[in-house]
Structure 1
């Protein structure tokens, strides 16, 4: 009995090891029968697009602030107390051309007119008297029959000239008094709005005092800074050519965009002129865009207010044979990755015409139909065969074309 117990005790580890091996083999066999898929080693296909030459308008983008083309200060030319203000004499209100915006107390100037008219009457009386005396002196000389010719003083010619000069001076004083009287009413020279107001009813003003700041609402301007590179894409200077018997100016169109009351609005205008000097600090030249604002109220358009910040897109010249690619397709060395006819990777240098926000314009280095890789490849290797998927730019859908390759990225 003791011998059998010792033998059983010695065989127990062997039995346990055999049982574990059988169980492990059974688990492996069951797992192989389930057919679990092995992890895939192939990377997904890269996306490519066909290079299509296009004729594109090389528009130029800029920005600026709206300013009125005409803006003046309303300054008093005479002294007086304000006795009347136009109902529109409030910041932001509109007025018409010819409206009396401010009226001063005119009584002092009415009195000045009366006094000047009295001086005119006195000067006329003196002139008439001098004329009669000159006629009498001439008659007396002829009656007396003097042998020597009369002197001008004897004929009272200097006195007569003085009387005539004093009459002209008195008449000039009347005109001056009336002019001062007319300046008591300040009429608007154009249709516009009040931008700033600095005077009120009953206030006494002195000559030279600023009463308000006005601006015209017919035309607004926007100064648009342009770099020398941007100016290449626009027809400068503004062209003038003959159409029939008349000169016609062709100015580039400009579209202005701004957010107003939570909505995006656009206004159309034209480049009116270029400023005459470069900005020394920025090295830019400013183009001035003009926008006709007279019909905005009739058209229910939003107000084109001074001080509004707007984005501008200036119409540029059209150029043929350009390729428009996503920015991701061009690397830092200004090169693109293309797929040749055998499905192999090729690195090609290109010439960039312009870099835009989301795209680049290529002018040289590509041919129509080239397959351009638009995925970012970390380390492209020349000659590697790749699987790719063609993405059509217009629809965004792609077609897969599988190519056998021993290497893939």
Structure 2
């Protein structure tokens, strides 16, 4: 009886707990229903597309002359390192022989002690005089001996005739004596011997004269060599030159070939400019015809005026040079080196407070080339790395492929892909979405070009 009462009490407690939970759940559901009825419905959002503000410029076809830009150091065309050609002690040095001084043409730079060479010249002159006298003496003797040839020949003929007459009278007619015949024969033999001696002497004279003349020419050559050596004791400036180095002083002994003075001729400067071979092939101007014989080199390059600016101050230092020739083709770097020359008159032209163009200045050189026809000029940054540009078409962004004819400074020139009148976006964009909405503002072409030219200058 007691166990049953305990079970009934436990069941009542369980039912009570379940009822309490159900009541709490019902109250919560009712509260949620009431709260949901009290909440206002959310306002429906209206989606609007945001427009991207960009600047665009209208594409215009134009013919643009190409300008090839390179850099190089200005240097004199002619330089000379002068050395002594004879040995000796320096006895004179030009009073202004210092680096940077301008020495006029013909001025004596330095002089070697000439006394030994003057003595050698006097000896050579004496030898020439001696052999000249010998040649003249031999020629006079030869003429005298030739003059004796006729009388001796006549004497021989007379002696022979007398001998033959006496011998014939004695042998045929028994007239005269044997001693007379023998005396006549002796006279004939003496005349014949004298004539033969003279003939042998005359035969030797041309050889003797020739040998004397050879010795005379040798003496004259030695005299000329001595004169040249004496002249070489004095070293003069070969042109109006600027002294670039000096290594000679009074009292110094110089051996032949020892460098003493270096001069630079600043009357003509030259700048060696390296250009990419592809640019040179495509844009450099060459004349089709030439009067020169054909050679395997760049011989018909057109001598066009070039713009030269000092890189340290491009806006304040500018000169005009002339494209002169192609100097070299480097097979390793695939570059063509051209020479641009500047006259001294042009190099000396300066602006207020400016400097002249001098050797050693590092300059930029603009070389005019061929003309690009019907190209569109856009800022360089308007073209992506994969040669595409962004167009504004009906306020929507469109991506088109283009062909870049040339990039020149901060400008790119398009030869294909953009039509005249297209609006080319010049604002820098990073991964824009195709067909996105745009708010287009016209770019100030004139202001942009002025800014580019100022930056380039």
Confirm or deny a common fold (TM above 0.5).
yes
Once residues 214 and 44 of structure 1 are traced to their aligned partners in structure 2, the CA distance between those partners, rounded to angstroms, is 66
Once residues 154 and 57 of structure 1 are traced to their aligned partners in structure 2, the CA distance between those partners, rounded to angstroms, is 85
CA change 1:168–1:50 in 2 (3 A) is same
CA change 1:80–1:158 in 2 (3 A) is same
Find 2:138's aligned residue among 114, 127, 130: 130
Find 1:204's aligned residue among 227, 238, 253: 253
Shift of 1:182: 1.2
Shift of 1:327: 2.3
Q: Is 1:156 matched up with 2:205?
A: yes
Find 2:229's aligned residue among 146, 170, 180: 180
Shift of 1:259: 4.3
Find 2:305's aligned residue among 253, 263, 271: 253
Contact 1:273 1:288 in 2 (8 A): yes
Residue 238 of structure 2 aligns to a residue whose secondary structure is coil
Instruction: Provide Cα deviations, 1:338-359, integer angstroms capped at 9, x if missing partner.
Output: 112x322211111111123322
Per the alignment, residue 60 of structure 1 pairs with 68
Find 1:105's aligned residue among 99, 102, 113: 113
Contact 1:53 1:321 in 2 (8 A): yes
Find 1:189's aligned residue among 227, 238, 241: 238
Shift of 1:291: 0.9
Residue 218 of structure 1 aligns to a residue whose secondary structure is strand
Q: TM-score, normalised by structure 1?
A: 0.77
CA change 1:312–1:298 in 2 (3 A) is closer
Per the alignment, residue 28 of structure 1 pairs with none
Instruction: Provide Cα deviations, 1:228-283, integer angstroms capped at 9, x if missing partner.
Output: 221145344356689xxxxx9941222221145898412211110012x5213212
Q: TM-score, normalised by structure 2?
A: 0.69
Residue 307 of structure 1 aligns to a residue whose secondary structure is coil
Answer with 193-202 or 125-134: which moved more.
Answer: 125-134
Once residues 295 and 331 of structure 1 are traced to their aligned partners in structure 2, the CA distance between those partners, rounded to angstroms, is 42
Per the alignment, residue 317 of structure 1 pairs with 370
Once residues 132 and 337 of structure 1 are traced to their aligned partners in structure 2, the CA distance between those partners, rounded to angstroms, is 106
Once residues 302 and 126 of structure 1 are traced to their aligned partners in structure 2, the CA distance between those partners, rounded to angstroms, is 68
Per the alignment, residue 446 of structure 2 pairs with 394
Once residues 252 and 298 of structure 1 are traced to their aligned partners in structure 2, the CA distance between those partners, rounded to angstroms, is 20
Per the alignment, residue 366 of structure 1 pairs with 418
Once residues 171 and 241 of structure 1 are traced to their aligned partners in structure 2, the CA distance between those partners, rounded to angstroms, is 48
CA change 1:105–1:387 in 2 (3 A) is same
Find 2:96's aligned residue among 88, 113, 130: 88
Instruction: For 1:228-267, list aligned pairs within 5 A.
Output: 228-237=277-286, 250-259=302-311, 264-267=316-319
Contact 1:254 1:270 in 2 (8 A): yes
CA change 1:212–1:250 in 2 (3 A) is same
CA change 1:298–1:389 in 2 (3 A) is closer
Contact 2:64 2:373 in 1 (8 A): yes
Contact 1:152 1:158 in 2 (8 A): no
Instruction: For 1:293-304, list aligned pairs within 5 A.
Output: 293-294=344-345, 296-297=347-348, 302-304=355-357
Instruction: Provide Cα deviations, 1:298-331, integer angstroms capped at 9, x if missing partner.
Output: 7677343333221111112222322121222222
Contact 2:247 2:261 in 1 (8 A): yes
Answer with 138-147 or 85-94: which moved more.
Answer: 138-147
Aligned residues: 350
Contact 2:146 2:202 in 1 (8 A): no
Q: Is 1:337 matched up with 2:386?
A: no
Residue 428 of structure 2 aligns to a residue whose secondary structure is coil
The unaligned stretches of length 5 or more in structure 2 are 1-47, 154-191, 292-299, 449-457
Shift of 1:153: 5.9
CA change 1:64–1:52 in 2 (3 A) is same
Q: Is 1:357 matched up with 2:357?
A: no
Residue 69 of structure 2 aligns to a residue whose secondary structure is strand
CA change 1:154–1:51 in 2 (3 A) is closer
**CA-atom RMSD, angstroms?**
2.8
Instruction: For 1:64-75, list aligned pairs within 5 A.
Output: 64-75=72-83
The unaligned stretches of length 5 or more in structure 1 are 1-39, 243-247, 397-409
